[in-house]
Chain A
Amino acid sequence: MKKISLLLLVLLPTLLFAQTKYVTRAGHANLFSTTVAEDITADNYKVTSTIDTETGAMVFVIPVQSFEFEKALMQKHFNQANFMDSKQYPKIKFKGEITNLSTVKWKEDGKYPVTVEGDLTIKDVTKSISEEGTITIKGGELTANSVFVVKGISDYNVGKPKSKKKKNNVAEDIKITYKGTYKVK
Chain B
Amino acid sequence: MKKSIKVLLIAILAGILIAGGIILYMFNMPHRDVIGEDAKFNIEAEQFVNEFMTNTSESNAKYLDNVVEVSGTVAEINEDQLKQKVVLLKAGNSGVNCTFTLETNPDAENLSIGDKVKIKGIVRMGASYDEDLDLAEYAILEKCNITK
Chain A residues within 8 Å of B, Cβ to Cβ: 21, 23, 25-26, 28, 45-46, 48-50, 59, 61, 63, 65-66, 71-73, 75-76, 79, 86-88, 90-91, 93, 95, 179, 181, 185
| Residue in B60, B84, B132 with the greatest tally of chain A CB atoms within 10 Å | B132
Apart from A25-B138, A50-B134, what 5 extra A-B contacts exist at CB < 8 Å?
A25-B97, A46-B142, A59-B133, A66-B125, A75-B31
Q: Nearest chain-A residue to B28 (Cβ)?
A: A71
On whether the beta carbons of B64 and A90 are closer than 8 Å, the reply is yes
Q: How far is the CA of A92 from the CA of B97 in the complex (A)?
A: 18
When distances are taken between beta carbons in the complex, the residues of chain B under 8 Å from A87 are 60-61, 64-65
Q: A63-B124, A65-B125, A72-B30 are in contact. Are A79 and B134 (CB under 8 A)?
A: no
Q: How far is the CA of A63 from the CA of B124 in the complex (A)?
A: 7
When distances are taken between beta carbons in the complex, the residues of chain A under 8 Å from B26 are 73
Q: A28-B81, A71-B28, A90-B125 are in contact. Are A65 and B64 (CB under 8 A)?
A: yes
- A21, A26, A88: the one contacting B81 at CB < 8 Å is A26
On whether the beta carbons of A66 and B137 are closer than 8 Å, the reply is no
Give 6 CB contacts A-B under 8 Å.
A26-B80, A50-B134, A79-B65, A86-B64, A86-B65, A87-B60
On whether the beta carbons of B86 and A26 are closer than 8 Å, the reply is yes
On whether the beta carbons of B142 and A48 are closer than 8 Å, the reply is no
Whole-angstrom distance from the CB of A70 to the nearest CB of chain B?
Answer: 9
> Is B99 among interface residues, defined by CB-CB distance under 8 A?
yes
Q: How far is the CA of A76 from the CA of B31 in the complex (A)?
A: 10
Whole-angstrom distance from the CB of A105 to the nearest CB of chain B?
Answer: 24
- A48, A49, A72, A88: the one contacting B32 at CB < 8 Å is A72
Q: How far is the CA of A76 from the CA of B126 in the complex (A)?
A: 19
Interface residues in B50-102 (C-beta closer than 8 Å to A)? 60-61, 64-65, 78, 80-82, 84, 86, 97, 99
Whole-angstrom distance from the CB of B56 to the nearest CB of chain A?
Answer: 9
When distances are taken between beta carbons in the complex, the residues of chain A under 8 Å from B32 are 72
